[in-house]
Structure 1
Amino acid sequence: MGFGEALRRFFFGARPDPVQQRQFTQIQQLVSWREQKLGGVDRKQALSIPAVLKGRNLICSIATLPLVAKDLNNREIPIPLLTQHDPNVPNVVVKSQVLEDLLFDAVSWWRVTGFDEYTRPSQVRRYDNSTVSFDPPASYQAGYLPSGNAAEGVIWMEGEEVPFDQVIKFESPNPGLLDVGYRVIARSIALDDVADLLAANPKMRGYFSPAEGVDPGSDEEIEEMLADWQEARSQRIDGYVPASLSYNPIQDPTPSELQLIEMQKRNDLNLANMIGVDPEDLGISTTSRTYQNAVDRRQDRINTVFAPYMDAITDRLNMPDVTRPGLTVQFKLDDYLRADPRTRVEVAEKQVAMGALTVEEYRQDEGKVPLPPAAAPSAASLEPRRVTSTLGQQEALSD
């Protein structure tokens, strides 16, 4: 190796191996070809990627949190819309559908199907985004109005004309994942397809060569020997190689397969960043983090991941055409942020001592029935009492 080659290696490293470089190029070409063939992706294709499905399920876990309306005194006021959104669908399903729409398309639609005594919506039905349009359907007949134009202030939902005042539109502050992340999703699908292709057409993992001075045999004998080898390996892990043969294993896994694995990991990390969730929530190992207990991590998840979607729903429901003045709609986070039993008792003791909470309110928060009147502790019973011991000394006892 001359001085020039040594200098080049010092600054730029060794030259890539031609065989490995060709394998890398083939993998990249397969992935790029499959990605171009896919073009755009729809929601069903996106959800076929485990990382996207896990991120979607994490975002939609917000649907398990109840929506409540509170007055100016922070008292919960039941309203029909929050009690049951759609009379035919559970609330958790309706909210999860809205959250999924906001994640993938940045918009979701409700049609009002009922009103309460305050002329506010009491029942709704969620419509798929593909069934909602600002343009009239092809079957719409011109001349429906004297002017020959469609009515203003209407929208078409499943081909039916609906006035704007009977529609609730939710919009996400984040761009839709299918709009800005279609390339990353298509790359994930392409990587999975290439991995399946390589698994269905595995490369040779080894080969036999005759020992020195041994007749290699005819083609028929070689085929018979390979068939016997394959049958023996199908029945047990280890196989027997005759003395007249040598088995030469090939590197496993190959550099191209290792590259494919790294490309999949990198793409999953990109998906986690685009969805906005912690990579570890998608099963991606990252560097160590600062210690957090369960409650702190849930609070951090609300602030950094859930808040945009939660506010997109509550801000729209708090508009005057949905909720009457004096009430505020919000997600109830008490159960989600509930600490462990010991911590809750310690906090409740301090709140009771300072008069911010009563025993009855604490039992209600814990989901316990009220104490019977005879069992309820009186103020006098909570005071320390003095008794005289057998030694004539006073000891402080308390209940």
Structure 2
Amino acid sequence: MAEIVVPELAESITEGTIAKWLKQPGEQVNKGEFIVELETDKVNVEVISEEAGVVSELLVAEGDTVEVGQVIARVGEGGAASAPAAAPAPKAEEAPVAQAEPVAEESSSMDRAIASPAARKLAREKGIDLNAISPVDPMGRIRVQDVEAHAAAPKVPAAPAAPAKAAAPAPAQDDGRVTREKMTRRRQTIAKRLLEVKQSTAMLTTFNEIDMTNVMELRKRKKDDFFEKNDVRLGFMSFFTKAVVAALKKYPYVNSEIDGDEIILKNYYDIGIAVSTDGGLVVPNVVDADRKNFAEIEAAIGELAVKARDNKLTIADMTGGSFTITNGGVFGSLMSTPILNGTQVGILGMHTIQRRPIAVGDNIEIRPMMYVALSYDHRVIDGKDSVGFLKMVKELIENPEDLLLGS
């Protein structure tokens, strides 16, 4: 009898949700064949069977939360199961909850959390369990400011249990006027992280507008040749990615993060590109965007978008971002204030292109205009750098030949 165990996924991921069983009791499974799809905070992972045989038992149901190392199914020998166990029904209030495998040593609970040495030391001094802290970092790494925020948070006393006779009445029968839908693990994580960013940063947004005339004309002239040579379409995202990298090099504090009382300046340019999926917004990274040409950037963005919508993103795709670009314009947004992504201190928001009357010299002309927004952490970035950064992005997009010559 072989056991199917939740595998180690990444240092910051300790649990997941059973998204879908790909095999049912009584079905044959081959060694290395996928048996279950697991949804984590960041990516979906398909778990394989290490042995060939017949699925004899599923220990948890779809929608259940499971921990790394937990046994979730068993595979028996033979070509058929004598009496296969049915998949467990959706959990009821009185149904037993599947238990995780016991931890070998209680003292290891602090080690399971991923934290910087300074954060780990501060947590020990304050007597705080690292596993009780909700980090801002999207990859789950706990930093000094997370420990300090947890220590400063008001402690809510537990409410006394109400006597049995004062128990609340059972909820009224659903009359069809509302529908309750459990949030997915990813949606819960998105909600928690966005709230934490708003509460733990001094976020501010500055705006500008870009005349898209020149970049649209250049794209129109070059798009056919570009596709013929590179087998990928020339879009606006490569221009904005190139412009952002150039601006980050001139304003390096926009490409940094805070760790306690230190600023970490990043000497790499992994640009996160926000992608909307049915499960929520994800931000995979174009790694080393400064070393890629236009075609390589467009190909990377296209590949990441497909992987995101097919739930095929890996932990590596989501790790290491230094700055993020989000394009609400694809949905028709005219203006918005994007929220910072994890520990990053800057995010650029693109918006829909709208033809508007603009003063050009002494004349009024109708031009295709785009509002852009830079949200930034004011603890690191002052107004001079934020305005200068956004102004440089504007100038480069309005003079796209400079980007082509510099790439």
Structure with the larger strand share: 2
Q: TM-score range by the shorter chain?
A: under 0.3
TM-score by length of 2: 0.20
Q: Which has the higher contact order (CA 8 A, sep 6+)?
A: 1
TM-score by length of 1: 0.20
- Which structure has the greater CA radius of gyration? 1
Structure with the larger helix share: 1
